[in-house]
Structure 1
């Protein structure tokens, strides 16, 4: 922790705002550090020496339209408190960009460990790795079982035509970040559009559900689901498809973004799908489409991050190789979609 301002966060302005909104909450000078691992919104661990919070704000510089919506993320986390979905407690939302230079929100810090790589999981051993990985589809089942109306999220999205809009949205995000030739990405987008499945009943969806967006307890339970910036009402199988994608082998040595499938004891992607299907009762016969869509979406996200890196607008290490991953994700998407 340092009392110096980290990139994108003025601690003096933050302390002043917290004191105005919650007098007595902050009991001493703030110090902060950037939480590494995220490639999109900036996340900071903040403390006054006694209490600890987490602050989230959009990235510096180039920001894609409709992405990085702090109010949306804050709303869904707040709404899910009291359900079977583990989320942090929220403190406040600030939509005034004049406070720290961008909208932001503050939430309680939850104790837990983020596991981001197969190597980190391997240290747990096969049995603990398996238990933690199987907790992921179980948590998705809990999320997708929440009645949106009962938690005040009945108007959180427009489920009708969800998949078509998702493809259009990510196509627009691609164009906003397109700065080089990407062989196959237009074919992947068009092929996905030509093979749209029929969506099941809509639910709250996380939009970016994977192992390194959760915190795990010492006994391998999920303490909190984080990073809700892409959440909405829509097709729950998009969450499952993304989880499957992150459970496939990437086979790129020292990649800045990795899957966890190589960890000993990690369940196969098929086993995760079967567990979700058994507990949720949903038809998962078109999971290859949803997984291919996940490869496409991540390719677009990574290309956006690569574009920000070329403009010098990223914070932290590991961004110089992000661009190399994009063609791999495109190829995997095409291969998965051809499986039917």
Structure 2
């Protein structure tokens, strides 16, 4: 652990915690950056006796409405007493004078984040199937919640959600784009023209995938993480994006999306996960390919934003040099999914 961390001044953090939560920290703070630059920055801090997690936005370019610490903190706090496992939240700080950006502090939950083939290869075939089903079950549990009953009735605007999502990600593409991307306008146009009717609304995670959960020793889902894009809307957007992460990109080497999951690594195919979700939730999935195509579009825009920051030296961590090359593949497979949907 280090006292010299990008985006985290441990002295100022300790002073703030002592003011707001006296007695929480009992020794000198140390910290470690555990996730850098692609999304929000995540640190583990500790005082020798206990550990916590601090989350703040990335350094540099931040798109409007993205990296909203208040949203993450609010939704996890609201879900604390539900069937959806989340870390306990301790503190939300909107004062940018403390760390240079809003941040929050939450419980450190033990578990494994399966984000590489080296990790998933430790699992047997039955374990991979069991973990996949549990991942889907937690998602179905999330989508079954009544937002009003957990205090999130005003967390978003479900009416017109899908249309707004297509417009929103198109605008974010324009805000972080520095090159021509063949087909991406066509993908956005087709998505907008073929928006399906929303069958039900609920709490949407916005980036649900295996490496955004902590898995315990018995393969239980210990905590769902990374709620920065959570909102109220059409839950099937989570299912479509999960498909993009689950089966990766065809013919791409050094692909950061393929993190040791999916059929090529012994996990069940996405359609088996979709079937499990349909059975557990009673949801009609006849339009699911549109949601998969939208997932490709959304991830293309996110990846282009990361590429934009990388070219300007505003990312923290390794592996960003390959992100920009993924975007054309994401666009092509989004168009292909719409062909299947048609």
Q: TM-score, normalised by structure 2?
A: 0.97
- The CA deviation at 1:38 is 6.6
The alignment partner of 2:318 has SS state of coil
The alignment partner of 1:171 has SS state of helix
Residues in 2 aligned to 1:38 and 1:247: alpha-carbon distance in whole angstroms: 22
Contact 1:200–1:236 (8 Å) recurs in 2? no
Contact 1:245–1:295 (8 Å) recurs in 2? yes
Distance 1:113 1:37, change over 3 A: farther
Residues in 2 aligned to 1:187 and 1:96: alpha-carbon distance in whole angstroms: 41
Contact 1:125–1:264 (8 Å) recurs in 2? no
Equivalence for 2:94: 95
Equivalence for 1:147: 146
- The CA deviation at 1:36 is 2.9
Equivalence for 2:23: 24
- The CA deviation at 1:248 is 1.3
The alignment partner of 2:45 has SS state of strand
Equivalence for 1:114: 113
Structure 1, 289-298 or 239-248: larger mean CA deviation = 239-248
- The CA deviation at 1:153 is 0.3
The alignment partner of 2:72 has SS state of helix
* Alignment map for 1:238-249 (pairs within 5 Å): 238-249=237-248
Provide, for residues 124-156 of structure 1, a one-character-per-residue CA deviation record: whole Å limited to 9, x for no partner. Answer: 121111111111110111001111111100000
Equivalence for 1:131: 130
Contact 1:10–1:100 (8 Å) recurs in 2? yes
Equivalence for 1:172: 171
- The CA deviation at 1:254 is 2.6
- The CA deviation at 1:265 is 3.0
- Please tell me whether residue 277 in structure 1 is matched to residue 271 in structure 2: no
Residues in 1 aligned to 2:324 and 2:139: alpha-carbon distance in whole angstroms: 30
- The CA deviation at 1:120 is 2.1
Contact 1:118–1:261 (8 Å) recurs in 2? no
- The CA deviation at 1:294 is 0.3
The alignment partner of 1:258 has SS state of coil
Equivalence for 1:13: 12
Contact 2:205–2:231 (8 Å) recurs in 1? yes
- Please tell me whether residue 60 in structure 1 is matched to residue 63 in structure 2: no
The alignment partner of 1:339 has SS state of helix
Equivalence for 2:309: 308
- The CA deviation at 1:255 is 2.0
* Alignment map for 1:147-296 (pairs within 5 Å): 147-250=146-249, 251-259=251-259, 260-296=261-297
Structure 1, 106-115 or 32-41: larger mean CA deviation = 32-41
Equivalence for 1:333: 334
Contact 2:214–2:221 (8 Å) recurs in 1? yes
Provide, for residues 45-69 of structure 1, a one-character-per-residue CA deviation record: whole Å limited to 9, x for no partner. Answer: 1111111000000010100000011
Provide, for residues 55-105 of structure 1, a one-character-per-residue CA deviation record: whole Å limited to 9, x for no partner. Answer: 000010100000011011100000000100000000100001010000000
* Alignment map for 1:66-77 (pairs within 5 Å): 66-77=65-76
The alignment partner of 2:232 has SS state of strand
The alignment partner of 1:291 has SS state of helix
Residues in 2 aligned to 1:320 and 1:334: alpha-carbon distance in whole angstroms: 25
Residues in 2 aligned to 1:323 and 1:336: alpha-carbon distance in whole angstroms: 21
Paired residue total: 339
Contact 1:306–1:322 (8 Å) recurs in 2? yes
Q: TM-score, normalised by structure 1?
A: 0.97
- The CA deviation at 1:262 is 4.5
Give the root-mean-square deviation of aligned CA atoms: 1.2
Residues in 2 aligned to 1:175 and 1:16: alpha-carbon distance in whole angstroms: 40
Contact 2:77–2:89 (8 Å) recurs in 1? yes
Residues in 1 aligned to 2:80 and 2:214: alpha-carbon distance in whole angstroms: 16
- The CA deviation at 1:257 is 3.1
Distance 1:171 1:324, change over 3 A: same
Unaligned runs of 5+ in 2: none
